[in-house]
Amino acid sequence: MDAATAIELRGLTRRYGYRTALDDLTLTVPAGATLVVFGPNGAGKSTLLRILATLLRPHAGTASILGEALPDRAWAVRGRIGLLTHDPLLYGDLSARENLRFHARLHGVPLGRVDELLAEVKLERRADEPVHTYSRGMLQRAAACRAVLHDPEILLLDEPRANLDPGAIALLEPLVGRESGRTRVVTSHDPAGGLAEADLVLGLREGKTAFLAPVAEVDAARVAELYAA
């Protein structure tokens, strides 16, 4: 794997009991590229993200991130990955500022970055209130700050636009969008929106690769087919 390759998966397989959630997945994501993953509920998208986030071990095949093989070298890449999922991974009783300061200390990030990020996503006014009092969109903005606090090279994003209004989507673009310049794996159920930000497109169905192609070779109809019964 050369330096221009950020993620390399070969025959990646993960089971839960007798059920195969991800079956023999092989792909390469170049550094700085965006892989968008489509698939109906239960297709294996979250399982893939959890393996890439080093939260779950593969049962077969190999996974390499930034040149480090998982799971053995997971510790070496964990701090270079940012994860944004439906779970904001924030302490509800702490404010956004307290949560972010906690994570900043964990990662050795200067505390000034917390205030910069809160301003960037326009949360300063509510930054000292407990996050359990936030709306879903506000929570997602705080969670996005947490995901990029340590300036990760790789971003794993599970439907990152869920709960966001158009203004908030625009605010988060520089942090988690294409323009962040990071290597990204993004799950989506929105064919047009997902294709608009993809370099590579993966369609999963019941854990198997239905298609894997550069975005120029995939249209919205092909994505929609995935969701047809």
Ligand X SMILES: Nc1ncnc2c1ncn2[C@@H]1O[C@H](COP(=O)(O)OP(=O)(O)OP(=O)(O)O)[C@@H](O)[C@H]1O
Residue 21 within binding range of ligand X, rule CB under 6 A: yes
Pick from 19, 57, 105, 132 the residue near ligand X by CB under 6 A.
Answer: 19
Task: Find the part of the chain contacting ligand X (CB under 6 A) among 41-49, 57-65, 142-150, 178-186.
Answer: 41-49
Q: Which is nearer to ligand X, 11 or 79 (CB)?
A: 11
Q: Which is nearer to ligand X, 41 or 229 (CB)?
A: 41
Q: How far is the CB of 4 from ligand X (least distance, A)?
A: 28
Q: How far is it, in rounded angstroms, from Cα 54 to Cα 52?
A: 5
Q: How far is it, in rounded angstroms, from Cα 147 to Cα 30?
A: 21
Residue 47 within binding range of ligand X, rule CB under 6 A: yes
Residue type at position 112:
G
Pick from 2, 3, 41, 228 the residue near ligand X by CB under 6 A.
Answer: 41
Closest CA to 42 of 204, 222, 225: 204
Q: How far is the CB of 226 from ligand X (least distance, A)?
A: 11
Closest CA to 52 of 39, 42, 35: 35
Residue 42 within binding range of ligand X, rule CB under 6 A: yes
- Interaction pattern, residues 49-78, with ligand X; x per rule: CB under 6 A: ------------------------------
CB of 153 within 8 A of CB of 80?
A: yes
Residue 43 within binding range of ligand X, rule CB under 6 A: yes
Q: How far is the CB of 186 from ligand X (least distance, A)?
A: 13
SS3 211: strand
Closest CA to 83 of 157, 152, 32, 142: 157
Q: How far is it, in rounded angstroms, from Cα 201 to Cα 188?
A: 11
Pick from 34, 46, 99, 140 the residue near ligand X by CB under 6 A.
Answer: 46
Q: How far is it, in rounded angstroms, from Cα 120 to Cα 175?
A: 9
Residue 35 within binding range of ligand X, rule CB under 6 A: no
Residue 161 within binding range of ligand X, rule CB under 6 A: no
CB of 13 within 8 A of CB of 59?
A: yes
Q: How far is it, in rounded angstroms, from Cα 123 to Cα 138?
A: 7
Residue type at position 51:
I
* Assigned token pair, 25: 């997945």
Q: Under rule CB under 6 A, how many of the chain's residues touch ligand X?
A: 11
Q: Which is nearer to ligand X, 5 or 13 (CB)?
A: 13
* Assigned token pair, 195: 């294709």
Instruction: Map the footprint of ligand X across residues 198-217, applying CB under 6 A.
Output: none
Q: Which is nearer to ligand X, 19 or 122 (CB)?
A: 19
Positions that interact with ligand X (CB under 6 A)? 16, 19, 21, 39, 41-47
